[in-house]
Amino acid sequence: MNYECILYEEREFVATITLNLPELRNPLTKQLCEEIVHAVRFADEREEVRAIVLTGNGPAFSAGGNMNEFKQNFEKSVPELYDEGMASNDLFKLGATVRTPIIASVNGPALGGGTGLVAMSHIAISSDRAKLGLTELRLGMVPYVIMPLVRRAVGDRKFLDMMLTAKVYTAEEAKDLNLVHYVVPNHQLEEETWKLAKTVASYSPLAVRLSLDSFYLTDRVDLLKSFDLLSTMRIVSFRSEDLKEGASAFLEKRTPAWRGK
């Protein structure tokens, strides 16, 4: 696929997807969302990719929804709006449906849907210049689609405050809210993101995939039942080639050669 709104690069087991509408502050246009979904799913299927970095070109990570496109909704029928809404949901379902870790590298403001992308990612590292927030109510809107993701990240009470005040938070405040995991000086973001991605990519791809499977399979599952599910999944690890290789490499004091099997 020839991308027009994003940049795609693979290097050393890491795929980097860059939102590339900098003059518009990387708004989540219909085409941009479709291209992100395609690129993430493509990377997820490749054995050569063990971590996916999602970032933005220019001063912003993503300013959120595109208002010019949003205004067109007033002219569309209910079935059209429903179909387009269901399609756009695919973007925010990626974190729960792919098994290659997604790392958000938040290079600048990530507002509205941009905050949703950060919450969707498995790990988030942010520039100290970034700002995040749910600003939808300022426009008479509601953060419907991203609500489950941000609510899961920050908790019910904090989410209500975020949504109802429409406050914009600094990167450090976003870290306190659990929206991002790490905050680094802006000039170190690319370097620190690469270190983080390389760390994740250095582990057994099978073990990483099973880790994410386990996390989402046991989400909202009864505590006692979750033990049973995880014990069953553990059998896969015990019989895997990667676990044998990892144990051998540890005993032989060498770097493991993962096969993802």
Which of 36, 50, 31 has its CA nearest to residue 8?
A: 36
Q: Is 136 a catalytic residue?
A: yes
Catalytic-role residue among 4, 12, 75, 136: 136
How far from 119 is each of 92, 102, 106, CA to CA, in Å? 9, 11, 11
Give catalytic residue positions. 136
